[in-house]
């Protein structure tokens, strides 16, 4: 499902109006009619419509008219300057006056009326909102949120920034949102993701070509799109057909990370997994992952000490290499990472300590011979970019795509809404839950992604599938274990999503 910026939606609307001759007021009418469908599903008789003075308010005025015509008791409030209402919104505002439907502005009356209503329509602020809500609208929204009444937001909950999901301190918390044409970034990023329990996308007669010609590059998993990428295996195949993954990682204090990564890769369907680890942890890792093979390396101070000859052999034999899992943060490992990036002709997936070491010299990525995937969480991304974690979380899409472009890599920025960026392409994943904020979860994700690359998926496809399936498996683990789930529990459910 496409995800559009506010600028892209303006262009889409403009094309529908100017190139196809669809009057803007028809689009507004269709938007109102689509919201009415969802109102009718809810058993309500007394409805309050909260309107702003812009086009979102115009949608609200049109909804109020349709409710009135359909026999509902409707009460309309607008706390802004009526003189600012213009264009199509003014047309619908004037129609209400002609129908003797009073548009009220008394906040005390609104609070009193709120007690006896069944449903509230939020049509205050649309996709152009930025900043903080104040005045009567702030008071109204606070009372709506306290009321516990069922709330339907029009296009986006009021107080949510459409392009970032950043929220005003006071913003609508909706039961459902009905949006038009495409999802918006604000529906699935940051606080915006939690501002509405469900989001429905309605076609308001915008021609499909208007959306397609806009060349929107951002998609999400709302229509289970990632699973459409899965390929059915042939009957006459063997383990060499599904990739050889080498995992370079592990250290004296972090042997478990490699085990989790290897087990996740095997459960995702890797043909062969080889763990490249220090000799000192071989017994521990071997006992936990007997299905894997091993390349045992010397160690110094508990960290892997791998020779260039060994790296060359790994590059030759591998289909994909995962790097950094449980590696440790020793400066002695910089040379190894630089050598792999500059010499590997096979895709590299870099995570965890690999990223922390890489952050000392990001420019190494510009010398890569193969496709690089990095999988940072916001803290690691902060070290890679120099930005604060708050800034990164507020600008997840921009940060991911800028880094991807500058360093010619695929950036998978982990979080509650994981962003995958490659060139101009963006995928935003919304599967997963807070229970997955547990040690080793990222190692599992790396194993899944690397496994898919080894099986022949493009690195970008592997990141889409990996983030989606990792989250779905985590959601299943949550259903069983709640917030007490562990990374091992996530692995148990991977297989459910890799079968056709």
Whole-angstrom distance, CA of residue 1 vs CA of residue 415 = 20
- What six digits make up the tokens of 15? 């094309």
Comparing C-alpha atoms, which of 121, 195, 136 is closest to residue 161? 195
Whole-angstrom distance, CA of residue 456 vs CA of residue 325 = 22
- Which DSSP string corresponds to 182-249? SEEHHHHSGGGGGSEEEEEEE--S--HHHHHHTT--EEESTT-GGGGG--PPPSS--GGGG-EEEEE-
Q: Where are the beta strands (DSSP E) in 264-377?
A: 272-278, 293-300, 303-305, 320-323, 348-350, 372-374
Distances (CA, A) of 246 to 146, 243, 320: 54, 10, 7
DSSP-H helix ranges across 331-372: 334-343, 353-358
CB atoms within 10 A of CB 235: 4
Query: Can you say which residues are annotated as belonging to the binding site for AMP?
Result: 414-418, 442
Whole-angstrom distance, CA of residue 163 vs CA of residue 185 = 5
CA of residue 45 relative to chain centroid, distance: 37
Query: Can you say which residues are annotated as belonging to the binding site for (6S)-NADPHX?
Result: 55-59, 126-132, 137, 155, 257, 326, 377, 443
Q: β-pairing, 410-413 with 418-422? A: antiparallel
Query: Can you say which residues are annotated as belonging to the binding site?
Result: 55-59, 122, 126-132, 137, 155, 158, 257, 326, 377, 414-418, 442-443
Query: Can you say which residues are annotated as belonging to the binding site for K(+)?
Result: 56, 122, 158
- For the chain, helix, strand, coil in percent to 5 are 50, 20, 35
């Amino acid at each position: 499902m496409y995800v559009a910026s506010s600028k892209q939606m303006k262009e889409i609307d403009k094309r529908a109006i100017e190139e196809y001759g669809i009057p803007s007021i028809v689009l507004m009418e269709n938007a109102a009619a689509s919201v009415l469908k969802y109102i009718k599903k809810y058993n309500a008789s007394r409805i309050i419509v909260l309107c702003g003075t812009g086009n979102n308010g115009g949608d609200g005025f049109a909804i109020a008219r349709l409710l009135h015509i359909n026999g509902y008791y409707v009460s309309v409030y607008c706390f802004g300057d009526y003189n600012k209402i213009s264009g199509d919104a003014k047309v619908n505002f004037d129609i209400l006056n002609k129908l003797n439907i009073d548009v009220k502005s008394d906040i005390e009356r609104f609070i009193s009326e709120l007690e006896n209503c069944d449903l509230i329509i939020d049509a205050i602020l649309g996709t152009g909102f930025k900043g903080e809500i104040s005045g009567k609208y702030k008071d109204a929204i606070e009372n709506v949120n306290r009321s516990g009444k069922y709330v339907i937001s029009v296009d986006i909950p009021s107080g949510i920034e459409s392009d970032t999901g950043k929220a005003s301190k006071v913003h609508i918390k909706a039961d459902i949102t009905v949006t038009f044409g495409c999802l918006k970034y604000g529906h699935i990023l940051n606080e915006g993701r939690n501002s509405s329990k469900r989001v429905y996308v309605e076609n308001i007669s915008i021609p499909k070509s208007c959306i397609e010609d806009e060349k929107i590059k951002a998609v999400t998993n709302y229509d289970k799109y990632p699973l459409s990428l899965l390929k059915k295996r042939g009957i006459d195949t063997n383990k060499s057909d599904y990739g050889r993954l080498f995992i370079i990682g592990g250290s004296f204090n972090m042997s478990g990370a490699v085990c989790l990564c290897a087990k996740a890769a095997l459960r995702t369907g890797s043909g062969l997994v080889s763990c490249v680890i220090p000799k000192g942890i071989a017994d521990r890792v071997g006992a936990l992952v007997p299905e894997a093979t091993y390349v045992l390396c010397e160690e110094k101070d508990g960290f892997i000490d791998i020779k260039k000859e060994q790296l060359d052999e790994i590059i030759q034999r591998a289909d994909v290499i995962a790097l950094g899992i449980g590696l440790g943060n020793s400066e002695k490992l910089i040379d190894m990472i630089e050598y792999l990036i500059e010499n590997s002709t096979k895709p590299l997936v870099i995570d965890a300590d690999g990223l922390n070491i890489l952050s000392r010299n990001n420019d190494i990525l510009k010398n890569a011979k193969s496709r690089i995937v990095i999988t940072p969480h916001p803290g690691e991304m902060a070290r890679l970019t120099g930005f604060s974690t708050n800034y990164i979380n507020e600008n997840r899409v921009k940060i991911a795509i800028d880094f991807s472009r500058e360093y010619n890599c695929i950036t998978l920025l982990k979080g509650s809404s994981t962003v995958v960026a490659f060139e101009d392409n963006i995928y935003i994943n919304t599967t997963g839950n807070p229970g997955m904020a547990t040690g080793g979860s990222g190692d599992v994700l790396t194993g899944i992604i690397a496994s898919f690359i080894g099986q022949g998926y493009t690195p970008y496809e592997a990141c889409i599938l990996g983030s989606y399936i990792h989250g779905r498996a985590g959601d299943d683990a949550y259903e069983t274990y709640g917030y007490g789930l562990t990374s091992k529990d996530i692995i148990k459910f991977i297989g459910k999503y890799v079968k056709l």
